[in-house]
Amino acid sequence: MNKILLQFFITVAVFATIYFGLSQIDWIAVLKVKEASKKTEEKLGDFFWELFSKADEEIHDEKTVAIIDSLVNHLCEANSIDQTKIKIHILKNGEVNAFTLPNNYLVIYSGLIKSTENEAELLGVVGHELAHMEKGHVMKKLIKEIGLSALISMTAGGGGQTVKEALKLLSSSAYDRDLEREADITSVEYMIRARIDPEPFANFMYRLSDKEKNLPSQAYWISTHPDSKERAEYIINYIKGKTFIKKPLLTESQWKELKERVKN
Amino acid sequence: MSLAIDKFGHEPSEHEAENASNSYLMSLVAVVAGLPLPIMNLVATLFFYIGNRKGSHFVRWHCTQALLSQASLLPVNSIGFWWTISIIFSNEQISSKYIAYLITIVLFNLFDFIATMIAAVQTRKGIHVEWWLYGSVTNLICRA
């Protein structure tokens, strides 16, 4: 019996020693895991963006772009997010939608800007998308739903049906419930750090979930993010009792100008 | 895990040697067939073990040793399997620790695979092979 115990412990010790020894090596760097996945992400992001940019006209109006840039940059600066890596694009599309693509593309539809009543509502949605970007949810969702091999073959010009599926998946922002919750709360934290009131973000979700019954195709961001009322409630609960400084970024006239320019 | 070639109580017959050797082959066949679930090797060996419960001591002894080796690989491989699943389907990221664990279990499985092949060949010749640890445990639970 003693012999068996001794042999058992020696076997476990050998296993543990090999594992411990091997885990001291930085395999991620040795196998260049990050570089390989970054390259795939870059290719995919550029590929998807090209398709989206063909489907809708991009808004290049200097003033509009400058205002949106300044809002996103403010959120990034307050949260130590490298804003230089983010590629912001505003597309002329009536859908109330914003989404992220691989390789740090942030796409905002004019319909979203039109339907938000203030900068805080807009930044709540933008913060939510930035959270998906920062936490690596975009590639995770694509790999889970479509598969890495299909994605790689897509960038090489194959899989027409899979491309369609991927585009729908990306713009619908249909992430897992847990990922959505994580992105919501992270967005609220981003807003608090950036001294933006997060309450309008919850109000925006309440408002659109009511409108959804009448405007199913327009309220896209909300209709593809289920349980919006429940989400608005947990945002309200999260900020309840918290004190934070609110500092407006845009003047009333700047906000009005942005909405006017997007309308035109 | 070392292999010790010992003398068995009696000289096994041709049929006994074949059955004993097959118990090791069962786990090898499951690996070669590329079954993705770690439990499959164990199930294959378990079925063979059950089928030979009433066999001679030599056959039962080797079926038990083959079963023990597969049973001990199950928890080790299952951790690797579910770790991989959580990377694919949840927020878990690929880490150096994960890769180190995969290499460790590949090494252990490879070692087990080679030992199983040697045991299959030796028992087919009627030679009794006792493995490190599993041999001692088998001696304890498989009495003549």
* Same domain for A22 and A141: no
Q: Which residue of B96, B108, B133 is in closest CB contact with A26?
A: B96
In chain A, which residues have their Cβ closer than 8 Å to the Cβ of B68?
A: none
User: Which range marks the domain in which residue A24 is found?
Assistant: 1-31
* A123 confidence band (pLDDT: 50, 70, 90): very high
Candidates A1, A6, A28, A180: best to mutate against B (most CBs of B within 10 A) is: A28
Q: Which residue out of A1, A2, A3, A4 would a mutagenesis test of the B interface target, given it has the greatest number of B Cβ atoms within 10 Å? A: A4
**Same structural domain for residues A39 and A94?**
yes
The span from the CA of A215 to the CA of A180, in Å, is 22
Residue range of the domain that includes B134 = 3-141
Pair A14, A90 in one domain: no
pLDDT digits (tens, 9 = 90+) for B54-74: 888 888 888 888 888 888 888
Probe site for chain A from B92, B107, B136 (most A CB atoms < 10 A): B136
Q: What is the mean pLDDT of residues A14-33?
A: 89
Residues A83 and A13 in one domain: no
**Candidate from A52-56, A213-217, A232-236 with smallest mean pLDDT:** A213-217
The total of structural domains in chain A comes to 2
* Whether residue A227 sits in one domain with residue A186: yes
- Contact criterion met (CB < 8 Å) for A28 and B94: yes
Distance CA A180, CA B26 (A): 47
- Contact of A226 with chain B, judged by CB distance below 8 Å, is answered with no
ipTM value, please give it.
0.79
Q: Do A23 and B93 touch (CB under 8 A)?
A: no
Give the 3-state secondary structure of chain B.
CCEEEECCCCCCCHHHHHHHHHHHHHHHHHHHCCCCCCHHHHHHHHHHHHHCCCCCHHHHHHHHHHHHHHHHHHHHHHHHHHHHHHHHHCCCCCCHHHHHHHHHHHHHHHHHHHHHHHHHHHHHCCCEEEECCHHHHHHHHCCC
- Nearest C-alpha in B relative to A16: B104
In chain B, residues with a C-beta closer than 8 Å to the C-beta of A26 are 96
Of the given ranges (A70-84, A172-186, B114-128), which has the lowest mean pLDDT? A172-186
pLDDT of B111 over the 70 cut = yes
Number of domains in chain B: 1
State the average pLDDT over residues A223-229: 64
Same domain, A5 and A68: no
For residue A34, the chain B residue with the least C-alpha distance is B94
Q: Please check whether residues A107 and A196 belong to one and the same domain.
A: yes
Pairing of strands B3-6, A87-91: unpaired
Q: Quick one: pLDDT band at residue A223, thresholds 50, 70, 90?
A: low
The nearest CA of chain B is from the CA of A27 a distance in Å of: 5
Residue among A4, A18, A27 whose CB faces B96 most closely = A27
Are the beta carbons of A22 and B136 separated by less than 8 Å? no
Task: Give the mean pLDDT of chain B.
Answer: 80
Asked if B56 and B20 count as a contact pair (C-beta separation under 8 A), the reply is no
Residue reference for tokens 């499985």 = B109
Residues A12 and A66 in one domain: no
Q: Are residues A93 and A166 in the same domain?
A: yes
**In terms of domains, do A22 and A112 share one?**
no
A36 at B interface, C-beta within 8 A = no
How close is the nearest chain A Cα to the Cα of B89, in Å?
Answer: 6
